[in-house]
Structure 1
């Protein structure tokens, strides 16, 4: 009888410990470039809750880098695949010098992004962001794609973040004066990087985004992450 109790306790221990390893770091809905929202983190996972995206009138330059996986990055990719109910076809061996590679796309022209965020057509976006200093924007994504698309992204003259006819943000590749649209669904986006907003006032005393904080940490002197901390904030006015 006692041996049965031991077996039952051992089975419960295995069941209770197993799922924790599988859930760690899983991201089922990885956001795309330009998405605005909040990140929610816990011990088991992180999730980006998107509320929208800015309006883009002029394409924003995107940099493309091919980077070898680190052990930590590969673990993130494997967890992403598990979250989709899929197995990874890549093999990572820490002791072997040659590592599988992935692409990192980054909004490199943050000045252009900042200018467009402060344009009149994004006044509603700014009004919404000004109500909560915790909102961030996705300025970097890590991804894998098929061999042909990977090669095109690496060799493209330019890659832009643009707005399509439906008002959605998409990627555009420029090659030999030919423009090609890249669907987010054609990319395995397994991780992302966020930037925060630092607020200040323009010469008219109106609230504007002064900088896009690349590491989402502290804001430069004279700016604030939370607009409410600025002294004598006027009601939001058009620029």
Structure 2
């Protein structure tokens, strides 16, 4: 191996090492994850695609339905929670032998069509996700909060826009709003990223039609990459 090739190999290995080290430091460290929340547009970055950066959030014209589930910590989920840096993190005690294990809440966005509509109505967000192969959306989070969340009698739960142009979870008993949960007041220790499926609307425009979890394929004729649809002609074009 000549000196030039050896230099290039060393540089690549050094960059990979730096990337891996940075990934471990940046994951969920408060202030560098740009406040990961349910419903935000994100982009995975880095060699290992473990770094995540918040890119934006579409404006909502209506409430989007979510599910909220209270779960007991397991040894694995508790380890993930403990690994998160947050100076305001609620102290949680856990033991495998305990009969009353501590709990957390899992919140999942289930209105895929409503969210896709919100993206298509927000032109800047729509064009960004169409032109970014790594853009996704946070569709499920695991969180702990110091506030009491009382699900008794709750008939529906949604995410809604707030005055600060972020989302918040709202709990309803029939038509009555009984509680609002702001993401700035919770600790998120796990999340799920989903990706967009594209199709052509009645005007021949490439738009977001659906959302699928990471690792799953879009249902045909929808495509995972918007640019593939730009090469498909409508019958009216022939």
TM range (shorter): 0.7 to 0.9
**Distance of 2:166 and 2:91 partners within structure 1:** 31
- Alignment match, 1:136: 136
Distance apart, 1:95 and its partner CA? 5.0
Distance apart, 1:79 and its partner CA? 0.5
Larger radius of gyration: 1
Distance apart, 1:53 and its partner CA? 0.5
- Alignment match, 1:228: 227
- Cα offsets for 1:146-202 (capped at 9, x unmatched): 252x22x56533221111234322222224644343222221222211110011212
Q: Runs of 4+ in structure 1 displaced over 4 angstroms?
A: 23-26, 85-88, 95-98
Corresponding position: 1:32 with 2:34: no
CA RMSD of aligned residues (A): 2.9
Structure-2 change in CA distance of 1:41 and 1:97 (3 Å) = farther
Find the partner of 2:96 among 90, 94, 97.
94
**Distance of 1:67 and 1:87 partners within structure 2:** 18
**Distance of 1:102 and 1:166 partners within structure 2:** 26
Structure-2 change in CA distance of 1:171 and 1:96 (3 Å) = closer
**Distance of 1:108 and 1:72 partners within structure 2:** 25
Distance apart, 1:97 and its partner CA? 5.9
Find the partner of 2:114 among 112, 117, 124.
112
Structure 2 residue runs without a partner (length 5+): 1-20, 234-238
Contact 1:170 1:184 in 2 (8 A): yes
- Alignment match, 2:195: 196
**Distance of 2:108 and 2:77 partners within structure 1:** 16
- Alignment match, 1:218: 217
Aligned length: 206
- Alignment match, 1:76: 80
Contact 1:140 1:194 in 2 (8 A): yes
Deviates more, 1:57-66 or 1:177-186: 177-186
Structure-2 change in CA distance of 1:211 and 1:189 (3 Å) = same
Contact 2:65 2:158 in 1 (8 A): yes
Structure 1 residue runs without a partner (length 5+): 1-19, 235-239
Distance apart, 1:31 and its partner CA? 0.7
- SS of equivalent residue, structure 2 residue 204: coil
- SS of equivalent residue, structure 2 residue 131: coil
Contact 1:207 1:233 in 2 (8 A): no
Mapping of residues 120-159 of structure 1, within 5 Å = 121-146=121-146, 148=148, 150-151=149-150, 153=151, 155-159=153-157
Find the partner of 2:58 among 54, 60, 65.
54
- SS of equivalent residue, structure 1 residue 189: strand
Deviates more, 1:218-227 or 1:187-196: 218-227
TM-score, structure 2 normalization: 0.74
